[in-house]
Amino acid sequence: MTDFKARYGPWALVAGASEGLGEGFARSLARRGVNLVLVARREAKLQALARQLTSEFGVEVVARSEDLACPEAPESLLGSLDQDIGLLVFNAAYSGVGLFSEVSSTDLQKILSLNTFAPLLLARQMTPRLIARGCGGIVLMSSLSGNQGSGNIATYAASKSFNTVLAEGLWHEMKGHGVDVLACCAGAIRTPAYQSAQIGGEAPGILDPGVVAEQTLDALGSGPVVVPGTLNKLANFLMRRLLPRATAVRVMSNTTKELTR
């Protein structure tokens, strides 16, 4: 824990932190002694979580209500902070569930703005700072759905593929500067958003948010991609290495077809 704080602290910024996986990352980082800047739209939830984490772990927590889907928000956020951010965890995302032909142009724009443009801009602002520090890290949340096309969430899956490839490229560029970059390709996570969108039974390999957060943070420095969960690792190998591409698309789409708005 001390080594983690020395390498990635003293402050971490968690985007999409109000509940679910974002809260899981916040708790895992606070447990490791890292101070936090929590960013999300819902200020009341952020403030409540900030008070809990300060009380439970004794860390400093700053809550910032921001809509990172707004084009100007990612660029203005870091410039307005005085804290020495050593780790960026980008967890904010918008799914836009539905058949592509029926998803509105507004939803398509929000997916692109929040899932791809916001992490791209924040990572671009962070990398020079981390290079100057000589240590630190960036975590971009991706998804197993981004390993191939996925029906019913086609644009979301494509945006997650973007984050995986971006993280891999940054991992290569930054590793010589002492900065660790990681894409977390997660399967189903037992979050409020997932549970409200799932109309069938739970997906195979579903994990609690805290488990995903812990395994992701533990994997920092070990490579460009982590897949939390043993069953998910097996599924990842099967879908990417063994199955024909068209078959992999059908398998994933059979899972995501159960999702609803």
Kindly state the tokens that stand for 38.
């929590």
Catalytic residue among 156, 175, 233, 257: 156
C-alpha to C-alpha distance for 21 and 36, rounded to whole angstroms: 15
156 carries an active-site annotation? yes
Cα distances (angstroms) measured from residue 134 to each of 13, 86, 129, 225: 18, 10, 9, 21
Q: What's the angle, vertex CA 178, arms to CA 175 and CA 182, rounded to 5?
A: 55
233 carries an active-site annotation? no
Task: List 13's β-bridge partners, or say none.
Answer: 37, 88
C-alpha to C-alpha distance for 17 and 89, rounded to whole angstroms: 9
Reduced to 3 states (helix: H, G, I; strand: E, B; else coil), residue 211 is helix
**Angle, nearest 10°, between helix axes 43-57 and 20-31?**
20
87 by Cβ neighbours in 10 Å (0-12 / 13-18 / 19+) ranks as buried
Check: CB of residue 90 under 8 Å from CB of residue 122.
yes
Catalytic residue among 160, 175, 233, 257: 160
Catalytic positions:
156, 160
